Structure 1
Amino acid sequence: MRRGFKTEAKTLALELRAEIGLDAYSPFDPYAFAAEYGIAVVQLSDLDGPARHHFLKADGSALSGALIPNGTGVVILENDAQPLTRRRTTMCHELAHVVLEHEFGVSLSDERKCGLSGDQEAEADWLSGEVLIPSDGAFRLARANATDEQAADAYDVSLAIARWRMNHSGARKVMQRARAKWA
């Protein structure tokens, strides 16, 4: 990940949220965002053919999503057999690639790799995390001593994403230090 990207992502995430009328404290709707950008979302269950049954699984062994070139735009292919919180995370990751204008090729061979470089994947992961739970929101939750479960509920994300954002945003560490200083 390039130097300074995490700081840029904080600002960019808030700008992207504002484009669909959200502040830092509301759950992000990636489907509304995709619609705003004119990005079609296709569910695997809407497709026909033998590959559909191979990829359409709820477990982690299946394809979660893919960004597919379509003329001058893109289409997001989504595994709608997976839980909505997982799908929202996948959508945000794929949308981050679009917003960051990453050059890409389609690669469906590995369930976690989408054919992009490590830096581009790291940037898409980080930006999607900032969009799902912005740092400002994580700090508000940390000040309120919110659990990971409460953070997940507040932002309609999986427990794993809530835990990752609450820990990697630095919100909990900063609040722990502040409380220790004033105790």
Structure 2
Amino acid sequence: MGLDPVDPIDPMAICNHYDIHLSKLSEIDPRSPFSGAKSSLFSAVTVPCGYRTAIVHNDSHHPHRQRSNICHELAHCFLGHECAPPLTEDGDRARDGGIEAEANYLGGVLLVTNRSRTPHRQ
């Protein structure tokens, strides 16, 4: 992708590179109950779209949080996690702690640059 070892990645460019469609929640549903005062209730979700994958993210969050949300969803994709319905039949949030921990870790790694390392020069 033309990045130097210390360059931060651009999650949007990563989505484009891997043909993952990135959608803003406000473009899908401008009156979403998950924006505004209740924006903390929804961050992002990975959605299968036929042979493609899409990530819907809450664009009402701070830009840094949006990057984090998108990288978390990219981590699910890179780790091969299967998409599952977000809610149980009872309407509770479906969550696998192990899978989420893996995505949290890799998502964070994707965000951290390698600025502490300087290129070795001879």
* Cα contact 2:39–2:58 (8 A) shared by 1: no
Q: Which runs of 5+ in 1 are unaligned?
A: 1-19, 142-183
Q: How does 1:22-171 map to 2 (within 5 A)?
A: 22-48=3-29, 52-57=31-36, 61-107=40-86, 115-134=94-113, 136-137=114-115, 140=116
SS in 2 for 1:55: coil
- C-alpha change, 1:58 and 1:88, in structure 2 (3 Å) is farther
Kindly indicate whether the alpha-carbon contact (under 8 Å) linking 2:20 and 2:53 is maintained by their aligned counterparts in 1: yes
CA distance in 2, matches of 1:21, 1:116: 36
Q: Could you tell me how far apart the structure 2 residues matched to 1:56 and 1:32 are?
A: 24
2: distance between equivalents of 1:133 and 1:80? 21
Give the C-alpha shift of residue 60 in structure 1. 5.4
Aligned-partner Cα distance in 1 for 2:37–2:8: 23
- CA contact 2:22–2:54 (8 Å) conserved in 1: yes
The alpha carbon displacement at 1:58 in A equals: 6.6
The count of aligned residue pairs is 114
CA RMSD of aligned residues (A): 2.4
Pairwise CA distance, 1:120: 1.3
More strand by share: 2
Corresponding residue of 1:169: none
Distance 1:118 1:48, change over 3 A: closer
Distance 2:95 2:10 in 1: 25
Q: Any conservation in 1 of the 2:73–2:103 contact (CA below 8 Å)?
A: yes
Identity, in percent, stands at: 38
Contact residue 68 and residue 111 of structure 2 kept, 8 A: yes
With the length of structure 1 as denominator, give the TM-score of the two structures: 0.55
Does the 8 Å contact 2:36/2:60 carry over to 1? yes
Residue identity matched to 1:64: S
In the alignment, is the contact (CA less than 8 A) between 1:57 and 1:82 conserved in 2?
Answer: no
Choose between structure 1 and 2: higher helix proportion.
1
**Cα deviations across residues 59-107 of structure 1 (Å, max 9, x unaligned)?**
6533111111111221101111111100000000000100111112131
Higher relative contact order (CA 8 A, sep 6+): 2
**Secondary structure at 1:105 match in 2:** coil
